[in-house]
């Protein structure tokens, strides 16, 4: 009480400060206990989040290995990628081929004679275009028969089956140019004309067999097919893509270099599978590091990981180890476990790759790796299913975190109850000390009155005010 300096109305006591300190003393131990408990629960929720994230990342690394098609992929290597590129499917037979790109497909282009400018009238009538057996007609009306108007009519025709019209100006004048929108001989442009009463629209007629004999139209670019020679066999194509010449291989031609040979090597794509298996090991070890850190105990500092002793985490670790130690059934081969391909369990349950053994398996028994990982009882398939169950809604981890979340909810409810109880306690202390203040005020007033009365008695002398 000696530290209180503020005075109340009746007693000189700092009632608000006293009540505040008493209320704080009531609140503090309970609040500290609740905060400490929630802090631990939140830390454990975060720890389970880290565990689930590590499991999810490991599951993602299994996507390539659980797919049987990953083990049948082919890769293609070309001698000069500027000449052609190649893509493959699983049906492509491994081998080396000699490829010559003799000619690239081009689109047909023909041009009219020179006219004064784009507004020059050509003549009315009808233009009939035929490209690869498909025909469409464009009517050219009198008064709407200039180069520009014919160009626009061709380009805007809803029936246009593969012709683009443009105007090119050179030193002689304006030329109406028709270009095939597709490459290849079969897409060459043929034009027949039904001339009208005025002008000379027939000057736009063109027959690929007769060339410029029908009119003044001139071929500016010949329609050509691509020509490619593979191991002495020749194939043509209307475009620059060669399909089916080599089974399972598509060639995309980029540049013609007649007479020059370039190599094409098709082989089993072991590189991507090898990388996927190494990723499988690395991601599993990352998962094990997470589990080890969360469940570790340091005897020197006497501190335990957040999930040390947790039954759910222990169950996850045990199930993972069990799957890793189970051989693959039904393969009918000695290569039916991770150990057989050079992957063993080492310190702290982490996987270790014997690079020599693994390289030999990839080189000599690559076709057997698919069964180890992507068969019905393969490691990637089983582990993917296991982790899916562990992390799914209603799984062991979700149930565990739901339980912790419920504990946080109960703590919040306890805080609300504490706040309600503190309000009552504060009101009670306030009433008690207010009554005390009033009583002390009355006693002080009585004392002052008695002192005054005694001072007025005859013969009474007070020394030093007493």
Report pLDDT digits (tens) over 385-416.
999 999 998 889 989 888 888 888 888 888 78
* Predicted model pTM: 0.65
Place of tokens 């189970």: 326
Two tokens, residue 416: 């609300």
- DSSP letters for 301-343: TTEE-TTTT-HHHHHHHHHHHHHHHSPPPS--SS--STGGGTE
Sign of CA dihedral 426, 429, 435, 439: negative
CA pair distance 52, 290, nearest whole angstrom: 10
- The answer to whether the beta carbons of residues 122 and 143 sit under 8 Å apart is no
Please, how many CA atoms are within 13 Å of residue 201, restricted to the half-sphere of its CB? 25
105: burial class by Cβ within 10 Å (0-12, 13-18, 19+)? Answer: buried
- pLDDT tens digits along 166-196: 999 999 999 999 999 999 999 999 999 998 8
- In order along its 466 residues, the chain shows pLDDT tens digits of 344 434 455 556 676 777 778 777 777 787 788 888 888 888 888 999 999 999 999 999 999 999 999 999 999 999 999 999 999 998 999 999 999 999 999 999 999 999 999 999 999 999 999 999 999 999 999 999 999 999 999 999 999 989 999 999 999 999 999 999 999 999 999 999 998 878 889 999 999 988 778 889 999 999 999 999 999 999 999 999 999 999 999 999 999 999 999 999 999 989 999 999 999 999 999 999 999 999 998 888 888 888 888 899 999 999 999 999 999 988 878 889 999 999 999 999 999 999 999 999 999 999 899 999 999 999 999 999 999 999 998 889 989 888 888 888 888 888 788 787 877 777 777 677 667 666 666 676 777 677 776 777 776 555 554 5
Q: Indicate the CATH number of 109-221 among 1.20.1440, 3.30.70, 3.40.50, 2.60.40.
A: 2.60.40
Distance set, CA 321 to CA 19, 62, 367 (Å): 60, 16, 26
The counts of H helices and E strands in the chain are: 8, 19
CA dihedral 130, 131, 134, 139 (to 10 degrees): -40
């Amino acid at each position: 009480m000696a530290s209180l300096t503020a005075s109340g109305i009746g007693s000189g006591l700092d009632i608000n400060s006293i009540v505040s300190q008493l209320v704080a003393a009531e609140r503090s131990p309970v609040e500290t206990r609740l905060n400490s408990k929630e802090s631990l629960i939140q830390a454990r929720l975060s720890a389970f989040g880290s565990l689930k994230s590590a499991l999810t990342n490991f599951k993602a690394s299994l996507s390539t290995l659980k797919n049987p098609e990953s083990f049948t992929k082919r890769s293609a290597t070309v001698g000069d990628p500027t000449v052609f590129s190649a893509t493959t499917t699983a049906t492509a037979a491994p081998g080396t081929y000699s490829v010559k790109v003799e000619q690239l497909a081009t689109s047909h282009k023909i041009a009219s004679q020179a006219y004064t400018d784009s507004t020059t009238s050509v003549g009315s009538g009808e233009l009939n275009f035929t490209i690869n057996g498909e025909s469409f007609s464009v009517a050219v009306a009198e008064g709407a028969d200039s180069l520009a108007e014919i160009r626009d009519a061709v380009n805007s025709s809803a029936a246009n089956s593969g012709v683009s019209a443009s105007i090119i100006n050179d030193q002689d004048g304006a030329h109406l140019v028709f270009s095939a929108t597709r490459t290849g001989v079969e897409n060459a442009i043929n034009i027949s004309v039904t001339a009208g009463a005025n002008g000379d629209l027939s000057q736009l007629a063109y027959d690929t067999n007769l060339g410029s004999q029908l009119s003044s139209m001139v071929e500016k670019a010949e329609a050509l097919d691509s020509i490619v020679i593979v191991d002495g066999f020749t194939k043509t194509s209307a475009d620059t893509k060669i399909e089916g010449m080599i089974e399972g291989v598509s060639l995309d031609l980029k540049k013609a270099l007649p007479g020059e040979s370039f190599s094409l090597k098709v082989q089993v794509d072991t590189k991507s599978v090898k990388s996927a298996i190494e990723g499988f090991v690395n991601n599993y070890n990352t998962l094990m590091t997470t589990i080890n850190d969360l469940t570790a105990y340091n005897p020197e500092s006497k501190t335990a990981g957040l999930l040390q002793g947790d039954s759910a985490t222990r169950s996850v670790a045990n199930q993972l180890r069990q799957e890793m130690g189970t051989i693959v059934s039904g393969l009918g081969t000695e290569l039916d476990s991770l150990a057989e391909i050079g992957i063993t369990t080492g310190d702290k349950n982490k996987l270790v790759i014997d690079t020599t053994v693994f390289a030999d398996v990839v080189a000599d028994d690559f076709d057997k790796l698919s069964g180890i990982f992507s068969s019905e009882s393969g490691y990637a398939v089983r582990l993917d299913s296991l982790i899916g169950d562990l992390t799914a809604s209603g799984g062991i981890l979700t149930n565990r975190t739901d339980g912790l979340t419920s504990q946080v909810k109960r703590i919040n409810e306890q805080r609300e109850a504490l706040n309600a109880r503190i309000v009552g306690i504060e009101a009670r202390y306030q009433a008690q000390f207010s009554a005390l203040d009033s009583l002390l005020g009355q006693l002080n007033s009585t004392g002052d009155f008695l002192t005054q009365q005694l001072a007025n008695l005859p013969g009474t002398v007070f020394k030093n005010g007493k």
